[in-house]
Amino acid sequence: GQTWRLSDLIAAAHGTPGLARIKFVTNYPRAMTDDLLQAVRDLPKVARYLHVPAQSGCDEVLKRMKRGYTVGHYREMMARIRETVPDCAVSSDFIVGFCGESAASYEKSLDLIRECRFKNSFIFKYSPRPGTKADELYADDVPEDEKRRRNNEMLAVQNRICEEDNARLIGQDVEVLVE
């Protein structure tokens, strides 16, 4: 009869003898609750790593994707992550060339990557999938060569961020966990 939140499950698993590390992946942005962030911060066995797909930095594209959150909500979530778990690594997912993604929409995604400084981003070109709502509702109107260009540019932006952040660590004592 008890309702379990993800934070409750993580806290219960934390006490398991022999369990050295807890890591979960791909959390929905709207499910990134304060209690979950506190569990990541307070439980020593929980990895300070979160993967939270943004998909796009443009509200219009997110609406067409039926994601159920806005860029403002995502930014607010990132601020709560940085405040609650300052040393947390955050990665994300992005789709370039989704139906109706304009050059301006795409630039908003680049801006979000630059602002959030993700540890990593998994970047994919949109491709129609028969039977999906996107395929039924929208034309695949971004040319393949433009999708490829955007994908490569976004990867380059993310790689530069990783290189800059890694360069700051040179000469510092860092804890390395070997799994």
Instruction: Report the DSSP beta bridge partners of residue 50.
Output: 90
Please tell me the distance from the alpha carbon of residue 171 to that of residue 179, in angstroms, as a whole number: 23
Nearest Cα to Cα of residue 91 among 150, 147, 158: 158
Please tell me the distance from the alpha carbon of residue 111 to that of residue 65, in angstroms, as a whole number: 19
pLDDT confidence of residue 98: 97
pLDDT confidence of residue 102: 98
Please tell me the distance from the alpha carbon of residue 27 to that of residue 115, in angstroms, as a whole number: 20
DSSP string computed for 87-122: T-EEEEEEEES-TT--HHHHHHHHHHHHHHT-SEEE
pLDDT confidence of residue 166: 80
pLDDT confidence of residue 47: 95
Q: What tokens does 151 get?
A: 């994908």
Sign of CA dihedral 101, 103, 104, 109: positive
Cα–chain center distance at 148: 21
Please tell me the distance from the alpha carbon of residue 122 to that of residue 80, in angstroms, as a whole number: 22
Query: Is residue 114 a contact partner of residue 150, using CB atoms and an 8 Å limit?
Result: no
pLDDT (tens, 9 = 90+) of the chain, 179 residues, equals 889 999 999 999 999 999 999 998 778 898 999 999 999 999 999 999 999 999 999 999 999 999 999 999 999 999 999 999 999 999 999 999 999 999 999 999 999 999 999 999 999 999 999 998 898 999 999 999 999 999 999 999 999 999 998 887 777 776 655 54
